[in-house]
Amino acid sequence: MTQIIAVANQKGGVGKTTTTINLGACLADLGQKVLLIDADAQGNATSGVGIEKGTIDKDIYDVLIDEYPLAKVIQPTQRENLDIVPATIQLAGAEIELTTRMARESRLKTSLKAIEGQYDFILIDCPPSLGNLTINAFTASHSILIPVQSEYYALEGLSQLLNTIHLVQKHFNPQLKIEGVLLTMYDARTNLGAEVVAEVRKYFPENVYQTIIPRNVRLSEAPSHGLPIIDYDPRSKGAEVYQKLAKEVLTANGK
């Protein structure tokens, strides 16, 4: 069965895109067939796997707004077993346009039916908001992976995120669960990092991954080369930790 995971946190810059690309690539490296869906108008997941935005004809916007077949917008990446549904800046209009459409919350879910069973994992890179695009991702997903930056105020805003999850569970997707909470951008040189880790583990006693993603400059360089970290610098700390996370995610999903 395909496991569909939304990577979400309405807080900006916490590592959603970095996690979507690198977890996806590491799962693909372990032999899983993976589809990334870029649901963020910034299109950073798209460019981060080497797709030139100028070359894109149709993208996730056309799927959500005009019911264009999702299978036709899937593009392969340079890495075997890793495909992507790209996004461009036109997706910015979808937040508002969706409000006028029928079944606005389930458009992504419906479009994914046509590729049912073709992938082991589908990872959706959500935008930094709790609007219609994120609701579409939550309605289409089995679970949510929440990256949390290891800094002061890490937990700020998480109650709104949990509220949104509860609302989607109640109205559209009762099976939706939390896949895991991922601590990102950890800085071992400060006491603060360790305090935040303890605080987040206390808040989510059962859901925090053992793997913690440290700050690693190679992770921030990789997107400008259009490559996941395991292809950009396979020996880096960033590659090591995302490979560890992929194994954790596989085990948690009984694969």
Ligand X SMILES: Nc1ncnc2c1ncn2[C@@H]1O[C@H](COP(=O)(O)OP(=O)(O)OP(=O)(O)O)[C@@H](O)[C@H]1O
List contacts with ligand X (CB under 6 A): 12-18, 40, 42, 44, 128, 184-185, 213, 215-216, 219-220, 223
Edge-to-edge, what's the strand order for the sheet holding 34-38?
A: 75-76, 82-85, 34-38, 121-125, 3-7, 143-149, 177-184
Q: CA-CA-CA-CA torsion for 85, 47, 131, 200, nearest 10 degrees?
A: 110
What does DSSP assign to residue 2?
A: P
Helices of type H across the chain: 16-29, 44-48, 60-66, 94-98, 107-112, 132-140, 158-171, 191-203, 217-221, 229-232, 237-252
CB of 157 to ligand X, least distance (A): 12
- Least distance to ligand X from the beta carbon of 76, Å? 22
CB of 171 to ligand X, least distance (A): 25
* Beta carbon nearer to ligand X, 69 or 234: 234
The distance of closest approach from Cβ of residue 142 to ligand X in the complex, given in angstroms and rounded to an integer, is: 21
Between 40 and 83, CB nearer to ligand X? 40
